Amino acid sequence: MRGGDVRTEGLFAYVSCEGRVPKEHPLRRILAIVDAALADLSTDFTRLYASIGRPSIPPEKLLRTLLLQAFYAIRSERQLMEQLDYNLLFRWFVGLGIDDPVWDVTVFTKNRDRLLEGDIAAKFFRAVLGRPEVKALLSDAHLSVDGTLIEAFASTKSFRPRDDHGGHGPSQRGRNAERDFHGERRRNDTHASTSDPDARLVRKGRGKQAKPPAQVALSGGSPA
């Protein structure tokens, strides 16, 4: 028989976030390695924080959250907090319960800056590489190349000559004004985005088309 299209909103949850994650999900193995590395850094965390005052975001949870941002290419910390609010997989990986509130994005950013300024990111990276499970994956005999490109929010129209002060800027023609790029050679040392100065043109290889401004080009992408 046909089931009824009824919305059920229970007041209580009887399944934990742990129970929602598949047994063979790759994040399970990653979490075990990450937790072991974080345990090795416990003394370093203690030295960074005062013994009195209002508790901050736990550094372990903060670093796990930043890993998720890298794994899933989440473009902003505001989007990251939004995902963390409703994504049960993210909550489980970070260590938040299903009813735990998500941090304000401004508070998260300030805590993140304080943590990274303490050279914790480099120590965390070394601690992960030092795990026996990870060492088995490392080899000096092979070189792995990742050509992933993360596109910026800047548009191609915003990419203009750095010395363009003669009425072609966004204030004179509008930020999205039409522009003819035919025959013009655009390079990162001569052109820059007017809306996102950190954006760069990147291509995947020789003879390949330069993609719209990309914020990050991991090893494997070459500057335009």
Helix 26-40 × helix 59-71 angle, to 10°: 140
Amino acid at 92: W
pTM of the model: 0.63
* Alpha carbon distance 135, 204 (integer Å): 29
Find the angle CA(26)-CA(61)-CA(74) to the nearest 5 degrees. 60
Of 192, 169, 190, 165, which is closest to residue 179 (Cα–Cα)? 169
Of 136, 118, 134, which is closest to residue 126 (Cα–Cα)? 134
Residue 84 confidence (pLDDT) = 95
Helices (H), 98-212: 105-117, 120-129, 132-135, 170-173
pLDDT in tens, 17-37: 888 899 999 999 999 999 999
Residue 31 confidence (pLDDT) = 95
In the chain, which stretches have pLDDT less than 50? Answer: 166-172, 213-224
Yes or no: say if 131 and 36 are a contact pair by the CB < 8 Å rule. Answer: yes
pLDDT in tens, 96-118: 988 899 999 999 999 888 888 77
* Alpha carbon distance 205, 29 (integer Å): 33
The DSSP code for 25 is -
Residue 135 confidence (pLDDT) = 82
H or E stretch covering 143: none
* Alpha carbon distance 153, 196 (integer Å): 8
Residue 66 confidence (pLDDT) = 93
* β-sheet bridge partners, residue 214: 151, 200
